[in-house]
Structure 1
Amino acid sequence: MLDKLRLSIAKASGKSASLLSKVGPGGGGNIPGYVFSRVGDNESISSLASELKYGSILVTGTNGKTTTTTLLIKLISQDVQIRRSYENNTIHSILTAMLKQDGDLGVFEYGIRNKEFGIPDKVQKLIDPVGVVYTTISPEHSQVNNVKNSFLAYYSAKTLLSKEMKRGVIVANCDDPRTALIGLNKEKDVHVNYFGINITDIEDFDSKPIKCPNCGEILKYSHNFLNHRGFYSCECGFKRPEPNVKLVGAELNPDSWKLSIEGDLYNYAISKNVQFSLELNVPPFGLHNIYNTLASITAYASFTPKVENIEKSVKNIFDNLDMSFIPPGRFEIISYDNKHIGIGQGDNGDAVKVNAMFIKPYCKDSVEFIFTTPDEYEDDIFRDQYEVVKSLNPDHVIVVPGRKSIDKAREYYEIIKKDFETADFYPLDYEEMDKRIEKLTELAKESKYETIIMTGCGEEQAMWESIKRNFINR
């Protein structure tokens, strides 16, 4: 009786808090969930989460979380009313969505950079998700508050989000050995549906040795798609599991892509396997979004209660997709004045690699790379990003601070100038963001090169989206 009363009071308090001004822990959007958790207790949180008829799905990973969540929401909201949220790094954001929205299923992005701030084990215990989706895991986001954390600790924190699951489905990228191992280790407890690429037409242009997440030895790759994603095996017996949802064909043309996808996976809602075959026509949105497409389709087919709609619903979303689905500030290729200009955030080495692979087919003649640098304490990020710059071998490089420190950007520029003697440096001030945006736009528009890639660090909306809007009306 007291528990029910406490839950009711916590709910009322949380909903009332949404009327307050938008200040408080984690930003204004978190206030209702924050107040709910303070007035209630752990049992109140679990009770609130249990009110969702079909449970909750959490989407996590290093890259691809927001886009995968966006696509999954588009897909599954055709079949069931959902509660949803994006770009979450606190349990308060999830609770806020649960309090303020109606729906039988929760779809929540959940970013985790370490155990202390992300509390993944606590989130798993209290929310008790029926699904956890792993996009990909790499070292780029293991730095928190200018402190470089161990990648093993970062990887462990991601693992904790599903480690104690005893029901539901884990969706994992089988091309990524790190997410694949999470899935393999949980097959004894829950169903695991893997997604991946099953063609060799797509190939990385600069792959590096990758350690086996199971034993620490170097993995053997027969094919690399992108960085650590590919066909791999190890002498310890660990190897890439077969995907349940797989890309089996791709026609990648400049104006549109045709993707052939086959699926045979376990559906949690009906407790049995379902099969499907898809031919999708999508915009040329880059290799990373092929993975996001596979992840979202796998998650959708794993949890929709209307399995008879899978093929129709997926085609309805993807055949009508345009580039507006990508989150603000993400990389796009724009045609301008007989030039191809790729613009968007690439705040780590993996993201810059993805952007470079996206624009590489357009790099037939002269190429200019406008590189926006990381900040202080981000030398590891710079090294990974700069390896991609060198691999693309542009005819000219322009260096601009991507974050705050002009001195650090100049230090990075001096390193770049050793390899690219004609490189230029523009010390554009972070505090004068409008001028920085104006100058970066001008550099791209007035470039004499036929292909320009502008990527690196910088604020998603405050910088990258503003630059793109100087080229795109939407």
Structure 2
Amino acid sequence: MVNLLKFNIAKIIGKGVAFLAKWGPGSGGTYAGHIFTKIGGYDSINKLASQLKYGSIIITGTNGKTTTTLLLIKLMSNDIQIRQTYENNILNSIVTSLLTQKGEMGIFEYGIRNITYGIPDTVERLIKPIGVVYTTISKEHTQVAGIKNPFEDYYRAKKLLSQAMERGTIVTNADDPRTALIGMEKENDVNINYYGISTGAIEDIDAEGINCPKCGEKLNYSHHYLNHRGVYACSCGFSRPEPNVKLTHVEFNTDKWILNIKVDLVNYTTSKNVKLNLELNVPPFGLHNIYNTLSSITTYATFTPKVENIESTIYEIFNGMDMSFIPPGRFEVIDIGGKLVGLGQGDNGDALKINAMYMNQFVDAPMELIYTTPDENEDEIFKDHFKIIKSMNPQHIIVIPGRKSIDKAREYYEIIKQEYEDSEFYPLSYDKIDIRISKLIELASNSEYKYVMMSGCGEEQRMWEPIKKGLIRKS
């Protein structure tokens, strides 16, 4: 039982610490929560969380957490006042938000890399969320404190965040076998709302499936949307569930995308059915953000207490969206005098693949690739990149250092040259970044090809943004 005196003292001191932290360096987003817990104990967190009128929603996964959280905050804030935290994936951050903010519902991003550091079962017990949202789960981000953890432990830690739930709704990605299984195993305990893609217009390149998370046998895929996400089935009986919210049609253009989304779910807060057919006009924000859009819309439609606002709010947020919510370095396709140049960050295999899939929507003639390389000790990244490069099969390749080591970039170039004789190497220095930027702009502008893709490694703001601005000026 919570000691009310300790609880109230912890609240007073915690809020005082939060106020003082505004004037000091660092820790302002977490220290008040740490002090509150130190004084009041863990049970005080449970009491604090229970004071929310509608409860809390926690968003987790390997990728897409922050963008999904930000989109959900935009949507839900149109209806009610919320307490929120993102990009700070520890319990103290959630407690600080509960303690210092005002609102009837909590929306919290929560990254989990293992059970010891992430304490997912403890977070579930203390916060008692009405919703847990899963984006996707893959074999990235499993390293903690310099130690690579077994993926099985990482996956189990993610599952633990919702495993003890006895109320609420789990929102999860039907296209990802791992997140789909989490939902299916909880269908007897809580409601599950699945989201996914249901159009053949999106198809992965050089796709590889995964083993069944239920029995361990190789999954059979009839369609790959993105990496291990797709339409799948296993001989053990496990298969992709039908999404409650699904992308049924997509039209890609250089200036906007048209997304047709069908919604058919039960709203947890009101127990009302929600059925919608949406046609959204969004900026060309990248294929991965289609999943973030589906995830945020599903979660909003599941938990908002104002179901009458759902359709109008979704249109207001997405049809009025610009690219400012996406981090710098995003991949874009720019028309410069009839030549299409696709450029932006692609500093791992998945990112470069997404960029290639997007670029592929427009290419109907030979393409030139301007590839900016990884650095020392990043051979694994190059290995993944090279698979994507071969799947794109560009007519001509220009290789440029994306980071600091010219020698390592040259080494990567020599590997590429063995398969692509029509290739060039420019040893541009990182220390003279302005010269590098100018040369990249010149190469894209003067290319003899109608389609040019420029991607790979490189600092988002220091390199990609000036290149985009320079190309736009030239156009």
State TM-score, norm by structure 2: 0.88
1:21 matched to 2:24: yes
Matched with 1:204 is 204
Cα-to-partner distance string for 1:54-105 (whole Å, 9 max, x where unaligned): 2222222222222222221221111111222332332333334334432212
Report which stretch shifted further, 142-151 or 255-264: 142-151
1:307 Cα deviation (Å)?
A: 0.7
Provide the secondary structure at the position in 2 that maps to 1:140: coil
Change (3 A) 1:158 1:314: same
Provide the secondary structure at the position in 2 that maps to 1:263: strand
Asked if structure 2 preserves the Cα contact closer than 8 Å seen for 1:66 and 1:327, the reply is no
Matched with 1:327 is 327
Matched with 1:307 is 307
Asked if structure 2 preserves the Cα contact closer than 8 Å seen for 1:262 and 1:276, the reply is yes
Inter-partner Cα distance in structure 1 for 2:300 and 2:461: 28
Matched with 2:385 is 385
Matched with 1:190 is 190
Matched with 1:252 is 252
Report which stretch shifted further, 69-78 or 171-180: 69-78
Change (3 A) 1:459 1:168: farther
**What is the letter of the counterpart of residue 155 of structure 1?**
Y
1:123 Cα deviation (Å)?
A: 2.8
Asked if structure 2 preserves the Cα contact closer than 8 Å seen for 1:366 and 1:449, the reply is yes
Matched with 1:59 is 59
Inter-partner Cα distance in structure 2 for 1:426 and 1:395: 18
1:110 Cα deviation (Å)?
A: 2.4
Inter-partner Cα distance in structure 1 for 2:281 and 2:428: 41
1:4 to 7, 11, 34: 7
Inter-partner Cα distance in structure 2 for 1:36 and 1:359: 50
1:340 Cα deviation (Å)?
A: 2.2
Asked if structure 2 preserves the Cα contact closer than 8 Å seen for 1:375 and 1:402, the reply is yes
Provide the secondary structure at the position in 2 that maps to 1:141: coil
Inter-partner Cα distance in structure 2 for 1:365 and 1:122: 55
Q: RMSD between aligned alpha carbons?
A: 2.9
1:368 Cα deviation (Å)?
A: 2.9
1:384 Cα deviation (Å)?
A: 2.4
Report which stretch shifted further, 404-413 or 451-460: 404-413
Report which stretch shifted further, 298-307 or 389-398: 389-398
Change (3 A) 1:229 1:362: same
Matched with 1:358 is 358
1:266 Cα deviation (Å)?
A: 2.1
Matched with 1:214 is 214
Which residues in structure 2 correspond to 1:401-420 (within 5 Å)? Answer: 401-403=401-403, 407-420=407-420
Matched with 1:107 is 107
Q: How many residues align?
A: 470
**What is the letter of the counterpart of residue 77 of structure 1?**
S
Q: Max radius of gyration: which structure?
A: 2
Inter-partner Cα distance in structure 2 for 1:34 and 1:421: 59
Report which stretch shifted further, 70-79 or 438-447: 438-447
Asked if structure 2 preserves the Cα contact closer than 8 Å seen for 1:329 and 1:468, the reply is no
Inter-partner Cα distance in structure 1 for 2:470 and 2:126: 44
Inter-partner Cα distance in structure 2 for 1:275 and 1:20: 48
Report which stretch shifted further, 464-473 or 448-457: 464-473
Inter-partner Cα distance in structure 2 for 1:467 and 1:35: 46
1:221 Cα deviation (Å)?
A: 1.2
Report which stretch shifted further, 184-193 or 146-155: 146-155
Matched with 2:79 is 79
Inter-partner Cα distance in structure 2 for 1:62 and 1:72: 17
Cα-to-partner distance string for 1:257-315 (whole Å, 9 max, x where unaligned): 33222222121111343222222222333432222221111011010000111112112
Matched with 2:139 is 139
Q: What is the identity percentage for the equivalent residue pairs of Structure 1 and Structure 2?
A: 59
Report which stretch shifted further, 165-174 or 54-63: 54-63
Which residues in structure 2 correspond to 1:202-351 (within 5 Å)? Answer: 202-351=202-351
1:191 Cα deviation (Å)?
A: 1.2
1:43 Cα deviation (Å)?
A: 2.5
1:46 matched to 2:84: no
Inter-partner Cα distance in structure 2 for 1:78 and 1:167: 25
Change (3 A) 1:333 1:67: farther
Asked if structure 1 preserves the Cα contact closer than 8 Å seen for 2:82 and 2:106, the reply is yes
Provide the secondary structure at the position in 2 that maps to 1:297: helix
State TM-score, norm by structure 1: 0.88
1:193 Cα deviation (Å)?
A: 0.3
Inter-partner Cα distance in structure 1 for 2:426 and 2:111: 33
1:244 Cα deviation (Å)?
A: 0.8
Report which stretch shifted further, 392-401 or 71-80: 392-401
Change (3 A) 1:313 1:436: same
Cα-to-partner distance string for 1:203-245 (whole Å, 9 max, x where unaligned): 2232223211111111111122222121110001100011111
Asked if structure 1 preserves the Cα contact closer than 8 Å seen for 2:214 and 2:238, the reply is yes
Inter-partner Cα distance in structure 2 for 1:36 and 1:470: 50
Inter-partner Cα distance in structure 1 for 2:334 and 2:97: 35
Asked if structure 1 preserves the Cα contact closer than 8 Å seen for 2:15 and 2:32, the reply is no
**What is the letter of the counterpart of residue 11 of structure 2?**
S
Inter-partner Cα distance in structure 2 for 1:368 and 1:145: 40
**What is the letter of the counterpart of residue 155 of structure 2?**
Y
Asked if structure 2 preserves the Cα contact closer than 8 Å seen for 1:63 and 1:135, the reply is yes
1:3 Cα deviation (Å)?
A: 2.6
Segments of 5+ residues of structure 1 without an aligned counterpart are none
1:407 Cα deviation (Å)?
A: 5.0
1:182 Cα deviation (Å)?
A: 1.1
1:174 Cα deviation (Å)?
A: 0.4
Inter-partner Cα distance in structure 1 for 2:435 and 2:145: 27
Cα-to-partner distance string for 1:100-153 (whole Å, 9 max, x where unaligned): 432212222223333344333333333332212111222233345665433323
Change (3 A) 1:330 1:162: farther
Asked if structure 1 preserves the Cα contact closer than 8 Å seen for 2:14 and 2:33, the reply is no
**What is the letter of the counterpart of residue 98 of structure 2?**
M
Change (3 A) 1:144 1:386: farther
